[in-house]
Amino acid sequence: MATSVPTETLSAALERKLTERTARVGVIGLGYVGLPLAVELARAGFTAVGVDLDARKVATLNRGESYIPDVPTSDVAEFSRAGRLLAFTDAAVIQTLDTINICVPTPLRKTKDPDLSYVVAAVEMVAKHLRPGHLVILESTTYPGTTDEVVKPILERGGLVAGRDFFLAFSPERVDPGNPHFTTRNVPKVVGGTTPTCTRLAKTLYSASIEKVVEVSSTRVAEMVKLLENTFRAVNIGLVNELAMMCDRLGLSVWEVVDAAATKPFGFMPFYPGPGLGGHCIPIDPFYLSWKVKEVGFEARFIELAGHVNGAMPHHVADKVTDALNSHAKSVRGSTILMLGLAYKRDIDDIRESPALDVMAVLMQKGARVLYHDPYALRLAARDWPGNVDMESSPLTDATLAEADCVVIITDHKVFDYGQIVRHARLVVDTRNAIKPAPSHVFKLGAPVAKS
């Protein structure tokens, strides 16, 4: 049984270390969330220690290089040389830390149930090395109650008590990959602890590197905040995706409708349609909430309906491609289709949950020969998509465009030369309103075809 140390002594000692920047701060999971956080903590003057099972990531960081576009290699090199950014695969380093932020994935199972296996594995790793005075913060998006019901019991198995012997909090990540305006530093950080002392210590840590920290009353509130944010986006995107399908039938341009509605200075926020939802948050997080509330007999109908609409968009895009080919007296079967963009959003390399993967798979099932071009995702492994074949990015040349029976713009990367695409492609399906104005051989999602 662990020996208890007076809480005031532990908390005061940790608070002093955090204030003086002498604390060794740890981050478990060095991906799109963890690495930017570790870099900001190092920038604030802490010794930031990253832990990741991927030896390639660890080796890259220890060479002073970054593998995430939003984190400049110059920053990693600077902090690595100064000894303020270190990376390890061995979890034993946790014993030397004062704080641990857990930033691991929380995907969905095929049944749309939460998969907390990464969180549980990370927490059990921490539990093996937990000592009095540690501050543990979960940042992985999850359902309300995870910190109290899953994380806390695992950490308390050794006899230490949360809020007395160690400190526990939840703070949802708010990363927007590829956004140069809102970064880890200037996006407000929501924090909720298991006790007021836990909240205060977590706020002290984050306040050293983040411009604004927002305290809430509990870990459950903090967990719910993140789900509200992403459910808000998912539901509104579902609404505008449904509107796009309506406009297809009505012969209207959803893009013109939304842009005109956006001129209203109050009571309206523009959302735009697309080929489906992608990324590590919006396609997943709302289902964490709908799954959780089933435990209390509540049916989250808005969430389920939005998920149904958004999930159908890749099939709608495939139907749009079919219609476009039919207008040129061609069948999908046997046609060569060039997909432009594999990443789930513009100007990043993240393909997680990307709708491009589903559109490609549907078109392949229909018998098409599918190619893709994405300068940010040069290779696609069979295990990473439903098509289950290895692929490489094709070159984007005049000849490649001309040889394709249809070119589909899935991700509107800024590096694409849309003038070149219009000039050399025989047929284009534009799911992002990237081509403006659109000539007659360009079919747009949610818009009528321009007359010749």
User: pLDDT per residue over 299-347, tens digit each?
Assistant: 999 999 999 999 999 999 999 999 999 999 999 999 999 999 999 999 9
Q: Tell me: do 208 and 119 sit in the same domain.
A: yes
Task: Compute the average pLDDT of residues 141-148.
Answer: 96
Nearest to 305 by CA among 243, 254, 234, 250: 234
pLDDT of residue 7: 67
Q: Tell me: do 276 and 184 sit in the same domain.
A: no
Q: Tell me: do 164 and 86 sit in the same domain.
A: yes
Rounded to two decimals, what is the model's pTM? 0.91
**Is residue 95 in some structural domain?**
yes
- Distance, in Å, from the CA atom of 339 to the CA atom of 391, rounded to the nearest integer, reads 12
Amino acid of residue 32: Y
Asked if 191 and 171 count as a contact pair (C-beta separation under 8 A), the reply is yes
* Residue where one domain finishes, among candidates 150, 185, 217: 217
* Proportion of the chain above pLDDT 70, given as a percent: 98
Task: Compute the average pLDDT of residues 348-367.
Answer: 95
What domain count does the chain have? Answer: 2
Q: Tell me: do 97 and 205 sit in the same domain.
A: yes
**Is residue 333 in some structural domain?**
yes
Q: Tell me: do 210 and 306 sit in the same domain.
A: no
Q: Tell me: do 177 and 300 sit in the same domain.
A: no
The kind and range of the H/E element at 442 are: strand 442-444
Q: Kindly write down the DSSP assignment for every residue of 391-403, as one continuous string.
A: EEPPP--HHHHHH
* Residue where one domain finishes, among candidates 179, 199, 217: 217
**Is residue 352 in some structural domain?**
yes
Task: Compute the average pLDDT of residues 88-107.
Answer: 96
Q: Tell me: do 14 and 103 sit in the same domain.
A: yes
- Distance, in Å, from the CA atom of 90 to the CA atom of 37, rounded to the nearest integer, reads 20
Q: Tell me: do 33 and 144 sit in the same domain.
A: yes
**Is residue 129 in some structural domain?**
yes
The kind and range of the H/E element at 371 are: strand 369-373
Q: Is 281 a catalytic residue?
A: yes
**Is residue 127 in some structural domain?**
yes
Q: Tell me: do 112 and 14 sit in the same domain.
A: yes
In the sheet with 99-102, reading across from the earlier edge strand, the strands are 85-88, 47-51, 24-28, 99-102, 135-138, 167-170, 189-193, 213-215
The whole domain housing 149 covers: 7-217
Q: Tell me: do 202 and 331 sit in the same domain.
A: no
Question: pLDDT band at residue 282, thresholds of 50, 70 and 90?
Answer: confident
Q: Tell me: do 301 and 190 sit in the same domain.
A: no
CATH of the domain at 420: 3.40.50.720
| Mean of per-residue pLDDT scores for the chain | 94
- Identified catalytic residue from 103, 198, 247, 281: 281
**Is residue 62 in some structural domain?**
yes
* Residue where one domain finishes, among candidates 194, 217, 240: 217
CA atoms within 13 A on the CB side of 309: 21
Q: Tell me: do 182 and 289 sit in the same domain.
A: no
